[in-house]
């Protein structure tokens, strides 16, 4: 995909570097979109097969030809709303953590004050 043959335009002129970069970007984006469709199709099939297995088999491990299939119970986590009703923070402060609220800090302190304290995740590419 990176090695491309530069074709002259109809009038015989060579496309500019910017035009070549835009053309390459268009081809790369189109390929990403095609691959994403294939991934989505495969993921939908995987989800359907897993759903069928979950409907047919209880929690446990099973031999499936040369493969092993595990049906695992769902993760268990605390229902925060119910916990807070049963153990209010005012009466049980040791059961709670305090953490910064970025939205409130942004409103009160402003973006400039927070900028040196922020960290950024890795850049990403989105093709739609």
The number of beta carbons lying within 10 Å of the beta carbon of residue 5 is 4
**Which of the residue ranges 41-45, 92-96, 123-127 would you say has the lowest mean pLDDT?**
123-127
- The model's confidence at residue 123, banded by pLDDT at 50, 70 and 90, is confident
Q: In percent, how much of the chain has pLDDT > 90?
A: 79
> Mean pLDDT over residues 118-127, rounded?
83
The 10s digit of each residue's pLDDT in 72-94 is 999 999 999 999 999 999 999 99
pLDDT of residue 5: 63
pLDDT of residue 3: 56
**Is the model more confident about 127 or about 64?**
64
The number of beta carbons lying within 10 Å of the beta carbon of residue 40 is 10
The number of beta carbons lying within 10 Å of the beta carbon of residue 48 is 10
pLDDT at 8 over 70: no
What are phi and psi for residue 95, nearest 5 degrees?
-90, 5
pLDDT at 104 over 80: yes
- Gap between the Cα atoms of 48 and 77, Å rounded: 25
> Mean pLDDT over residues 107-121, rounded?
93
pLDDT at 1 over 60: no
pLDDT of residue 127: 72
CB 40 within 8 A of CB 32: no
pLDDT at 37 over 90: yes
The number of beta carbons lying within 10 Å of the beta carbon of residue 47 is 10
């Amino acid at each position: 995909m990176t090695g491309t043959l530069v074709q002259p335009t109809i009038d015989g002129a060579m496309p500019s570097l910017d035009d070549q970069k835009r053309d390459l970007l268009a081809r790369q984006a189109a390929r990403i979109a095609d691959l994403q469709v294939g991934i989505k199709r495969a993921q939908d099939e995987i989800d359907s097969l897993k759903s069928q297995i979950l409907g047919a088999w209880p929690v446990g491990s099973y031999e499936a030809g040369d493969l092993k299939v595990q049906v695992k119970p769902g993760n268990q986590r605390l229902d925060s709303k119910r916990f807070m009703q049963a153990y209010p923070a005012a009466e049980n402060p040791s059961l709670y953590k305090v953490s910064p609220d970025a939205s409130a800090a942004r409103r009160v302190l402003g973006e400039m004050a927070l900028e040196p304290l922020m960290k950024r995740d890795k850049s990403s590419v989105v093709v739609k």
